[in-house]
Amino acid sequence: MNTPQALVEERILTYGTGSGRYRDLGAHLGEHGPVPPTTGAALIKLVDQSGLTGRGGAGFPTARKLAAVAAGTSPVVVANGAEGEPASSKDRILLSYAPHLVLDGLQLACRAVGAGAAYVYVHEGPLVAHMENLVRARARAGVDSVAPTVVAAPARFVSGQETAVVSAINTGRALPAAVPPPVYVKGVDRRPTLIQNVETLAHLALLVRHGASWFRTAGTDREPGTMLCTVGGAVPSPGVVEVPIGTSIGDVLERAGGPSGQLGAVLVGGYHGAWLPAAEATELALSVAGLRDAGASPGAGVLVALGADSCGLVETARAVGYLAQESARQCGPCLNGLPAMANTLGQLAGTHPTRGLVERVHALAATVDKRGACHHPDGTVRLVRSALRVFAAEVRTHHSGRCGATDPRPVLPVPSRTAGR
Amino acid sequence: MSQPRQMPGVARSPVGRLAVDWIACSGRGLCAELVPERIGLDEWGYPIIAAEPVTGDLLPHARRAVAACPKLALRLQPS
Probe site for chain B from A167, A331, A369 (most B CB atoms < 10 A)? A331
Architecture of the domain delimited by B14-78: 2-Layer Sandwich (3.30)
The per-residue pLDDT for A141 is 96
The confidence score (pLDDT) of residue A2 equals 37
Domain with CATH 1.20.1440.230 in chain A: 312-399
Residue A289 confidence (pLDDT): 97
Helix axes A90-97, A99-113, angle to 10 degrees: 100
A52 neighbors A201 (Cβ within 8 angstroms): no
In the predicted model, residues of chain A with pLDDT beneath 70 are: 1-9, 15-21, 417-421
Instruction: Give the residue among A326, A410, A306, A407 at the shortest CA–CA distance from A374.
Output: A326
* Interface contact flag, B45 A331, Cβ < 8 Å: no
Domain boundaries, chain B: 14-78
Q: Enumerate the residues of chain A whose CB falls inside 8 A of the CB of residue B19.
A: none
The fold of A226-305 is Ubiquitin-like (UB roll) (3.10.20)
For residue B21, the chain A residue with the least C-alpha distance is: A178
Architecture of domain A312-399: Up-down Bundle (1.20)
Residue A61 β-bridge partners: A53
Strands A302-307 and B47-49: unpaired
Asked if the Cβ–Cβ distance from B23 to A337 is below 8 Å, we say: no
Q: How far apart are CA A340 and CA B42, in angstroms?
A: 13
Half-sphere exposure of A400 (CA within 13 A, CB side): 8
B45, closest residue in chain A (CA to CA): A332
Comparing CA positions, the residue from A396, A336, A331, A392 lying closest to residue A364 is A336
| CA gap A91, A197 in Å, rounded | 8
Q: How many CB atoms lie within 10 A of CB A157?
A: 24
Judge: A336–B22 Cβ closer than 8 Å, yes or no: no
Give the separation between CA A78 and CA A121, rounded to whole angstroms.
7
Q: Could you read off the pLDDT of A204-234 as tens digits, one per residue?
A: 999 999 999 999 999 999 999 999 999 999 9
∠ at Cα A161 (A147, A117), nearest 5°?
Answer: 15
User: Which residue ranges does chain A devote to CATH 3.10.20.600?
Assistant: 226-305
A-chain CB neighbours of B22 within 8 Å are 178, 330-334, 371-373
Query: Does residue A343 sit at the B interface (CB-CB below 8 Å)?
Result: no
A372 interaction partners in chain B (CB closer than 8 Å): 22
Count the Cβ atoms, other than its own, within 10 Å of residue A353: 20
Q: Which residues pair with A77 in a beta bridge?
A: A118, A194
- Which H or E run contains A130? helix A126-141
pLDDT in tens, B13-66: 999 999 999 999 999 999 999 999 999 999 999 999 999 999 999 999 999 999
B17, B31, B41, B46: best mutation site toward chain A, by most A Cβ within 10 Å? B46
What are the tens digits of pLDDT across the range A384-419?
Answer: 999 999 999 999 999 999 998 998 899 999 997 644
B27 and A332 in contact by Cβ < 8 A?
A: yes
Contact between A371 and B45 using a beta-carbon 8 Å cutoff: no
Looking at residue A304, its pLDDT comes to 98
| Euclidean distance between CA atoms B49 and B70, whole angstroms | 18
**Contact predicate A276/A379, CB 8 Å:** no
Q: Work out how many CB contacts closer than 8 A connect A with B.
A: 39
CA distance A382 to A390: 12
CA distances from A7 to A215, A241, A321, B7 (A): 16, 10, 36, 66
B40, B48 contact by CB (below 8 A)? yes
CA–CA distance, B27 with A176 (Å, rounded to integer): 19
A365 close to B (CB below 8 A): no
pLDDT in tens, A269-292: 999 999 999 999 999 999 999 999
Contact A17, A240 (CB under 8 A): yes
Tell me, what's the pLDDT at A160?
95
SS3 A61: strand
A262 close to A308: Cβ distance less than 8 angstroms: yes
Buried b (16+ CB within 10 A) or exposed e, A288-297: bebbeebebb
pLDDT, residue A351, reads: 84
3-state per-residue secondary structure call for A248-308:
EHHHHHHHCCCCCCCEEEEEECHHHCEEEEHHHHCCCECCHHHHHCCCCCCCCCEEEEEEC
**What does the pLDDT read at residue A180?**
82
CATH superfamily placement of domain A4-215: NADH-ubiquinone oxidoreductase 51kDa subunit (3.40.50.11540)
- Give the model's pLDDT for residue A7: 41
